[in-house]
Each structure stands twice: as structure tokens, then as C-alpha cells.
Amino acid sequence: MLQAFQRVLVLAPHTDDGEFGCGATIARLVQAGADVHYLAFSDCVDSLAPGLPPDTLVREVREATARLGIPPANVKVYSFPVRHFTRDRQDILELLVQVRQQLDPDLVLQPSLNDLHQDHQTIAREGLRAFKQTTIIAYEIPWNNLEFSNSFFVSVTEEHLQRKLDALAAYASQKDRYYANEETVRAQARLRGVQVGVRYAEMFEVVRAIAR
């Protein structure tokens, strides 16, 4: 089923959200030959620790997505200020509409509509508006999801999971976050795998599924 998707768009509110939510699935899609594009809507300058260069997370997301196999030309990083996406909602929607017209993806991976973070909620809602005629699945961010419908699972291999871990390791500036460690990522992948009888998996909720 996953092999049917040829043009895939990942919507990451902030740098690293896409890797945490669906990094192993991205690696699997790339391996299968899909043309994967990645949009990060904020360079998160305001969230950097004092003393770090302002382009730190831009460099890190480019390295991380390269480790997943996404071509550099397919990665775009925007500068919407963190925690102000609701204010910039219309600009974000217009950007997404332009992307839809240019790329015409057949699969969009985005945050859940039930994600508690206000920036994630904005990307989820505007993503649905912009891509209402496209299959959309929402990736899991456990520490943000108040509710989550475990309606779609992607089986991944040790190789796919290792690529996700390697991608997350590119975020040296974020390594002290309590969830940014191999133990947590592996445990989540193992739990989701157990739920569907495979070794590792990533879990999604179906926002819109279109059979053509």
C-alpha cells in the first residue's frame, strides 16, 4: 500500500517534528523510490539556547533530512516565529496552496488535529484545508497528543529505525530534551510494532484517505 505513493509531502511545524513523528516511515518511502519533500515552517531561532548561531537548526534539519535520504532541493525551511502560527495562519495557508499547485503530492504527512501545541494545530488545520483532495495521515507526537486514533500503522525495519535515530542525532542543539534519546524512540517503535504483530512500526491516524 505504501508503495502506491510516489510524491510525498512532510509538514513539520518546527525542525525535527517530521523526524520524531515519521522518520522511519520517511526512510522507508525513500527506499521505495518515493519523491519525498519536507517543509519546516520555523527555523526556531527564538528557541535556541543562548550563544548558538541563529542558523543552527536550519543546518541541523538539512543534515537530518539528508540522513533520511531526502534530496537537499526537496527541503524547505521557513521563518514563521515559534508560537505565533495562529497569527500567521493565512500566510501559511497561501504557502501550502502554492506547494499543492507546484508539487501535487499524493500523500501528506502532518501533525494531528488533536495536537496540543498551537503551532502544530495550525499546520494540521491549514494542511487539511490546502490538501482536502489528497490522502493525509497524521503522525504521532506522544507528548503533544491529547487524543490519537491509532488507525494506520507502517511496519519499519531496523534499518529504517536506525536512519530515524541517525537523523535525530543530527540535532545536537536539542539533545538535552527529555524525549530526545534512543531509548524513547526505540521503545515507541517497539510498542507500535507489538500492536500489529511486527518488530517495529510507526503509528498514524487517518485524516483523509482517497482511493484513485
pLDDT in tens, 64-103: 999 999 999 999 999 999 999 999 999 999 999 999 999 9
- CB crowding 81-115: b at 16 or more within 10 Å, else e: ebeebeebbeebbebbeebbeebebbbbbbbbbbb
SS3 182: helix
**pLDDT at residue number 82:** 93
- pTM, to two decimals: 0.97
Strands 7-12 and 135-139: unpaired
Sheet holding 200-208, edge to edge: 75-77, 35-40, 7-12, 107-110, 135-139, 200-208, 152-156
pLDDT by 10s per residue, the chain, length 212? 787 899 999 999 999 999 999 999 999 999 999 999 999 999 999 888 889 999 999 999 999 999 999 999 999 999 999 999 999 999 999 999 999 999 999 999 999 999 999 999 999 999 999 999 999 999 999 999 989 999 999 999 999 999 999 999 999 999 888 888 999 999 999 999 999 999 999 999 999 999 88
Domains of the chain, CATH where assigned: 2-208 (3.40.50.10320)
